[in-house]
């Protein structure tokens, strides 16, 4: 099926006149090939390569003459980036800034990463913050939060949230929450739950107050994931189990409810999967053995069919629009 045959069928059905069809054919013939996304991806790869290289370069060349030149170079680059950002800044807005300069976002990411490298170096070489490591992480976090809001930059916001989490000793990136966090360490589960719920609450507040409501997604994805996994870890490991179960279940219910409001089905999926794990585990722990014996053969078959039915009819059940 080609453009030509589609247009012919349109003409035959009397939907568009022939003249318009020639116009569309002309458009299809001459339309340009946009490599916008590819170029942005290459730019981003470049930034990653450069910052990684600089990070290694500094540590390898410590105590040589060259390394002071590198420090000056990094500091100079940060200043240059800041100048560029300052020159091309847009007035602050509570919503999405659409007409910003096309390079600003990448320059800000570069500047923030370079700042991390420089700060790490200062601490390593001169013990700039002494043994107060907390402050060393806290300063970039605050700075990144400020930059994210001022320049309307979601990647930097996620860097800031990451910094906040590592200040509390947690890893928050969705793909490594499970493998990188040591949930056997005391207090880490509670911290995770509290930070996660705080982030989710913050996304709710952002949306309610219409203060950068498009940041809500980042907050809820990072926070919800962390809180749900910490809650499950608590459910598996700690007592009282009922408390952790209630927390996790409530969070999943909120995520599913949020999917309805925001029309975002990612949160629906998170809510359903975490909720299913929590309920299944709770059923096997709380139910008496006599019921379990009969239930266990059919449990997974029928509950997964139930979830399938729910997902198939999710639009009707939650009254989603799309």
Partner 1 sequence: MKKPYNETWINNLHIQNISQSWFKRNLITPKQFEKIILEFPESFYKPGIFVKTGLFLFTLLAGCFFSGFISLFFLENSTDKIFTVLSIVCSISYFFTLEYMIKDRKLYHSGIDNALLYMAAVAALIPLFLSFDHLKIWQYCLIILIVNSFLLARYADILIAFISVGALYVMFANVIVATPQLKPFLPFCLMLISAIIYSLNRINYGVYYTNCQIVIKIVALVIFYLGGNYYVVREGNALLSDLLTPIAPQIPFSGLFYILTMAIPVIYIYFGLQNKDRILFITGLLTTAFSVFTYRYYFDIIPMDLILVIAGSVVIILSVLCIKYLKTPRFGISDQKDESQSTANLEAMLIAHQFGQAPAGDQLHFGGGDFGGGGAGNSY
Using CB under 8 A, which residues numbered 182 to 201 contact partner 1? 182, 185, 188
Q: Which 215-244 positions form the footprint of partner 1 (CB under 8 A)?
A: 217-218, 221-222
Q: How far is CA 16 from the centre of its chain?
A: 44
In 3D space, the residue among 161, 154, 165 whose CA is nearest the CA of residue 193 turns out to be: 165
Contact status: 285 vs partner 1 (CB under 8 A): no
By CB under 8 A, how many residues form the interface with partner 1?
104
Contact status: 39 vs partner 1 (CB under 8 A): yes
Contact status: 85 vs partner 1 (CB under 8 A): no
CB of 242 to partner 1, least distance (A): 26
Q: Which of 56, 62, 69, 243 binds partner 1 (CB under 8 A)?
A: 56
Residue where the block lists tokens 């005391």: 186
Q: Where are the alpha helices (DSSP H) in 152-264?
A: 154-167, 177-180, 188-209, 216-237, 241-262
In 3D space, the residue among 264, 258, 261, 302 whose CA is nearest the CA of residue 283 turns out to be: 302
Contact status: 83 vs partner 1 (CB under 8 A): no
- CA gap 233, 192 in Å, rounded: 10
Q: Which of 181, 203, 248, 258 binds partner 1 (CB under 8 A)?
A: 181
Piece of 82-90, 170-178, 193-201, 287-295 that binds partner 1 (CB under 8 A): 170-178
Contact status: 255 vs partner 1 (CB under 8 A): no
DSSP state of 100: -
Q: Which 61-80 positions form the footprint of partner 1 (CB under 8 A)?
A: none
Q: Which of 82, 162, 213, 262 binds partner 1 (CB under 8 A)?
A: 162
- CA gap 244, 237 in Å, rounded: 10
Residue 240, preceding peptide bond in cis (omega within 30° of 0): yes
Contact status: 22 vs partner 1 (CB under 8 A): no
Piece of 85-93, 214-222, 237-245, 281-289 that binds partner 1 (CB under 8 A): 214-222
- CA gap 64, 45 in Å, rounded: 29
Q: Which 108-137 positions form the footprint of partner 1 (CB under 8 A)?
A: 109, 113, 115-121, 123-124, 127, 133, 136-137
Contact status: 319 vs partner 1 (CB under 8 A): no
CB of 235 to partner 1, least distance (A): 20
- CA gap 249, 232 in Å, rounded: 10
Q: What is the dihedral of CA 276, 280, 283, 284, to 10 degrees?
A: -170
Phi/psi at 96 (5° precision): -80, 135
CB of 157 to partner 1, least distance (A): 7
- CA gap 141, 150 in Å, rounded: 14
Which is nearer to partner 1, 84 or 246 (by Cβ)? 84
Contact status: 297 vs partner 1 (CB under 8 A): yes
């Amino acid at each position: 099926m080609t453009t030509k045959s589609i247009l012919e069928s349109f003409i035959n059905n009397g939907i568009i006149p022939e003249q318009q069809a020639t116009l569309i054919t002309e458009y299809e013939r001459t339309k340009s090939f946009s490599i916008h996304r590819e170029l942005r991806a290459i730019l981003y790869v470049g930034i990653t390569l450069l910052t990684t290289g600089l990070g290694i370069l500094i540590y390898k060349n410590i105590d040589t003459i060259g390394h002071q030149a590198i420090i000056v170079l990094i500091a100079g680059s940060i200043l240059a980036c800041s100048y560029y950002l300052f020159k091309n800044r847009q007035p602050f807005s509570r919503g999405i800034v659409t007409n910003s300069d096309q390079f600003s976002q990448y320059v800000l990411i570069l500047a923030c990463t370079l700042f991390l490298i420089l700060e790490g170096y200062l601490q390593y070489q001169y013990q700039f913050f002494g043994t107060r490591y907390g402050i060393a992480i806290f300063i970039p976090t605050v700075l990144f939060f400020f930059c994210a809001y001022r320049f309307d930059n979601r990647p930097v916001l996620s860097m800031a949230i990451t910094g906040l989490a590592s200040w509390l000793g947690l890893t928050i990136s969705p793909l490594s929450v499970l493998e990188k966090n040591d949930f056997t360490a005391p207090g880490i589960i509670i911290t995770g739950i509290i930070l996660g719920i705080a982030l989710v609450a913050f996304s709710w507040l952002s949306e309610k107050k219409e203060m950068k409501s498009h940041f809500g997604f980042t907050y809820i994805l990072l926070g919800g994931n962390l809180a749900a996994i910490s809650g499950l870890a608590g459910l598996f490991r700690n007592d009282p189990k009922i408390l952790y179960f209630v927390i996790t279940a409530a969070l999943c219910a909120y995520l599913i409810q949020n999917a309805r409001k925001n029309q975002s089905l990612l949160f629906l999926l998170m809510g359903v999967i975490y909720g299913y794990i929590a309920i299944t585990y709770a059923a096997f722990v709380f139910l008496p053995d006599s019921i379990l014996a009969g239930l266990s053969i059919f449990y997974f078959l029928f509950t997964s069919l139930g979830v399938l039915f729910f997902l198939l009819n999710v639009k009707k059940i939650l009254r989603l629009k799309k």
